């Protein structure tokens, strides 16, 4: 096992499709934004930088005025100077047309939360693997610290 730790050729778990559906559904049905935030409290869990930027702008618009319609959302984003962060009026209109109803959209959000947790698990395991290669501690001490980190991860949201 010489060399660097295992890295998957397929890359980390993510779903650009689910991210787009989540963002599109919040644009189509702004009332979903609060529910989405419960499932995905941190925009950085989105893998795509563009979707993260859009999600962040939508959350900010929701905090400012709780828009009830796509038109309200568009006006709020424009007033906050965030319309371009979601790609402008044309992108907003296109995404609104792709939005899914609440149950399907929330399923996509739960899928994204699960993929984000998997990425955190992979990062934690990679860090633990690197520590095992470089550690001067004994096996039991390293194992205890590793269990603690994995328990913390299991309890995190």
pLDDT in tens, 42-99: 999 999 999 999 999 999 999 988 888 888 888 889 999 999 888 899 998 899 999 9
Overall average pLDDT of the 10-21 stretch:
92
Cα separation, 65 vs 8, in Å, equals 43
pLDDT-based confidence at 6, cuts 50/70/90?
low
pLDDT grade, residue 5 (50/70/90)?
low
Please name each of the domains of the chain with its CATH number: 16-155 (1.10.860.10)
pLDDT at 111: 96
pTM exceeds 0.85: no
Band the pLDDT of 2: cuts 50, 70, 90: very low
Q: What is the pLDDT of residue 134?
A: 92
- Predicted pLDDT of residue 1: 39
User: Is 144 a residue whose pLDDT tops 50?
Assistant: yes
pLDDT at position 19? 96
Q: Minimal CA–CA distance to 37: which of 15, 71, 61? A: 61
Closest by CA position to 153, among listed 111, 129, 115, 125:
125
d(CA 120, CA 100): 28
Residues near 97 by Cβ (< 8 Å), separated by ≥ 6?
24, 28
């Amino acid at each position: 096992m010489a060399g660097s730790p295992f890295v998957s050729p397929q890359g980390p778990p993510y779903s650009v499709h689910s991210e787009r559906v989540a963002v599109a559904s919040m644009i189509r049905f702004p009332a979903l934004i609060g529910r989405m935030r419960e499932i995905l409290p941190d925009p950085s869990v989105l893998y795509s930088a563009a979707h993260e930027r859009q999600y962040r702008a939508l959350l900010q618009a929701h905090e400012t005025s709780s828009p009830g319609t796509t038109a309200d959302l568009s006006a709020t984003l424009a007033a906050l100077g965030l319309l371009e962060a979601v790609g402008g009026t044309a992108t907003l209109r296109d995404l609104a047309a792709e939005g899914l109803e609440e149950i399907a959209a929330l399923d996509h959000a739960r899928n994204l939360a699960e993929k984000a947790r998997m990425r955190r698990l992979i990062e934690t395991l990679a860090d633990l693997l690197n520590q095992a290669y470089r550690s001067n501690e004994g096996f039991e001490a390293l194992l205890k610290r590793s269990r603690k980190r994995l328990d913390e991860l299991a309890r995190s949201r």
